[in-house]
Amino acid sequence: MWLWNWDRWPLLQRRGNQFFAKLLVSMLLVGFSFRCLFFFFSDSFAFLPLSQQPLRDYQSVENNGASDASVLEAALQNGVENSREGKCDLFTGEWISNPSGPAYTSESCPFIESPQNCIKNGRPDTGYLYWRWKPYGCNLPSFDAEKFLDVMRDKSWALVGDSISRNHVQSLICLLVKVEEPVEVYHDEEFKIRRWHFHSHNVTISVIWSPFLVKAENFRHELGVSSSEIEIHLDILDEKWISQYKNFDYILISGGPWFLRTAIYWENNTIIGCNSCQEKKNLAEISVQYAFRKVLRLLYHFFATSEHKPFIMYRSWPPSHFEYGEWFDGGRCSRTAPYKEGEFMGTDLEHLMRGIELEEFKNAVVNGACLKLLDIYRLSLLRPDGHSGPYRTFRPFDNKNKSASIQNDCLHWCLPGPIDFWNDLIMELVLNGKPK
Ligand SMILES: *[C@@H]1O[C@H](CO)[C@@H](O)[C@H](O)[C@H]1NC(C)=O
Ligand SMILES: *[C@@H]1O[C@H](CO)[C@@H](O)[C@H](O)[C@H]1NC(C)=O
Ligand SMILES: *[C@@H]1O[C@H](CO)[C@@H](O)[C@H](O)[C@H]1NC(C)=O
């Protein structure tokens, strides 16, 4: 299936013929890559001559058909000694032992919210903390908080999505805290939109709760039950984030499991149908897949047509690991070590949804924007051990009472935990990734 098998483009550079390679590089720099390289030059190594830039020794998977300027460039800088046999896909690899453990602890980071603070909530095992992501064929450098804040000086970030984005922003802030502790400068009434400022670096990080990315109504409580169906406008982006869009230099955005809920869909200010709400007999049945695809197209269209061109990353579907049931009927995730590749494939529904994401990403016309895919699905799929499970609330005596009805969280991640590595990947995409 194509989604398992991203095209690996033939590597253009070969030993010799540097002139040809140089010419090609300059053409590529001017052409395909302008937007992302603009970010690269202006943000990270401004004013350094090309030859002093660090070697980028691997590539992220993205899906343009263009040749790879940065591999060529790296080879030029290093007299082709470092030319590589192939590209490294950052998102394909394995979790390997990491004796040094996480970069922060549940005590050292005051920004971990209780449902993520598994250790404080009594999780007894710690083995899940001692793994790191290792792409096949290259090394993923650890997140460098100092470098991140330096490179992002005067820049503004936003993470837009659901509670997984909130989980993620906590991880990012925890990694940064040892260099500088931010101050929360804004939150809305429900703490669903929040903004932190790192004063001495003048870096701003926002998280914006917008689980459908489009306008939606009737969905106030995350685990609560609404009296009526969620109403989703498939053709109107959510004001919550687009009203602030022009303020952001970097935006990390994603859809997710909220799309699987029963909902009434609107287009053109008219109800067009509903997914799995049989009792609404007069409504046409519309699939979740249709709705999700529609929203992603609208999203990419917005990026392509908006005058503001931030650095955009789309984060893929977050895997869940409920076993012996679903989230609502006693499903749990009690493993204490990662899966080996191939041991667990994830659910069909998740593959379907991620497939739509990959397809729509591939078809997106960027039109001068810098757009990258943060494809965390498969690497996170290997971490059934990293979820909060029963430790989303205080539960000091382990999960021994099997008859107790405990709601497990096998979707969100413990902090510290595997989600921290998403930030290592972001750092690579931002500093070294090639443009779509
Ligand atoms: C901080 O960064 C913002 C842009 O994000 C900029 O407008 C502002 O002038 C900067 N402040 C200082 C003190 O440099
Ligand atoms: C939306 O509604 C307007 C007027 O009500 C109509 O002219 C237009 O064709 C509709 N568009 C679609 C896509 O249905
Ligand atoms: C186990 O949980 C059940 C249901 O919540 C409760 O009735 C029972 O008292 C618990 N047993 C122990 C030993 O805590």
58-86 pLDDT, tens digit each:
333 333 333 333 433 333 333 222 333 35
Six-digit token pair at 327?
Answer: 């989230």
pLDDT tens by residue, 2-24: 222 222 222 223 333 444 444 44
Task: Check residue 395 and give its pLDDT.
Answer: 79
Please enumerate in sequence order all residues whose Cβ is within 8 A of that of 402, keeping only pairs 6 or more positions apart, or say none. Answer: none
Please enumerate in sequence order all residues whose Cβ is within 8 A of that of 30, keeping only pairs 6 or more positions apart, or say none. Answer: none
Task: Check residue 398 and give its pLDDT.
Answer: 58
Pairwise CA distance, residues 149 & 196, whole Å:
13
User: Among 19, 124, 13, 110, which Cα is nearest to 68's?
Assistant: 13
Cβ–ligand 3 contact at 404 (below 6 Å):
yes
For this structure, is 201 an active site residue? Answer: no
Task: Give the pLDDT band of residue 256 (cuts 50, 70, 90).
Answer: very high
User: Among 150, 258, 244, which Cα is nearest to 195's?
Assistant: 244
Which has the minimum average pLDDT: 222-231, 405-414, 415-424? Answer: 222-231
Cβ atoms of 24 and 72 within 8 Å: the answer is yes
Cβ–ligand 1 contact at 156 (below 6 Å):
yes
- pLDDT top residue among 298 and 86: 298
- Among candidate residues 70, 163, 171, 316, the one labeled active-site is 163
Cβ–ligand 3 contact at 398 (below 6 Å):
no
Minimal-distance CA residue to ligand 3 atom 3? 404
Cβ–ligand 1 contact at 206 (below 6 Å):
no
Pairwise CA distance, residues 112 & 125, whole Å:
19
pLDDT tens by residue, 324-367: 988 778 899 999 999 998 899 999 999 999 999 999 999 998 88
Pairwise CA distance, residues 312 & 369, whole Å:
8
Pairwise CA distance, residues 300 & 46, whole Å:
29
Q: Could you tell me the distance, in angstroms and rounded to a whole number, from the CA of residue 296 to the centre of ligand 2?
A: 20
Asked if residue 423 has pLDDT above 70, the reply is yes
Please enumerate in sequence order all residues whose Cβ is within 8 A of that of 8, keeping only pairs 6 or more positions apart, or say none. Answer: 86, 87
For this structure, is 329 an active site residue? Answer: no
Cβ–ligand 1 contact at 202 (below 6 Å):
yes
Task: Check residue 64 and give its pLDDT.
Answer: 35
What ranges do the domains of the chain cover? Answer: 104-128+140-220+228-398+405-432
3-state SS of 324-363 is: CCCCCCCCECCCCCCCCCCCCCCCHHHHHHHHHHHHHHHH
Asked if residue 287 has pLDDT above 70, the reply is yes
For this structure, is 409 an active site residue? Answer: yes
Task: Check residue 432 and give its pLDDT.
Answer: 78
Q: Could you tell me the distance, in angstroms and rounded to a whole number, from the CA of residue 267 to the centre of ligand 2?
A: 9
Task: Check residue 93 and give its pLDDT.
Answer: 95
pLDDT tens by residue, 193-236: 999 999 999 999 999 999 999 999 876 544 445 557 899 999 99
Ordered alpha helix ranges (H), 186-273: 239-242
**Quick one: average pLDDT of 152-159?**
98
Asked if residue 259 has pLDDT above 80, the reply is yes
CA atoms within 13 A on the CB side of 414: 32
Pairwise CA distance, residues 373 & 352, whole Å:
17
Pairwise CA distance, residues 92 & 157, whole Å:
26
Q: Could you tell me the distance, in angstroms and rounded to a whole number, from the CA of residue 157 to the centre of ligand 1?
A: 13
Strands (E), 242-355: 250-253, 263-267, 270-275, 311-315
Q: Could you tell me the distance, in angstroms and rounded to a whole number, from the CA of residue 398 to the centre of ligand 3?
A: 13
3-state secondary structure of 255: coil
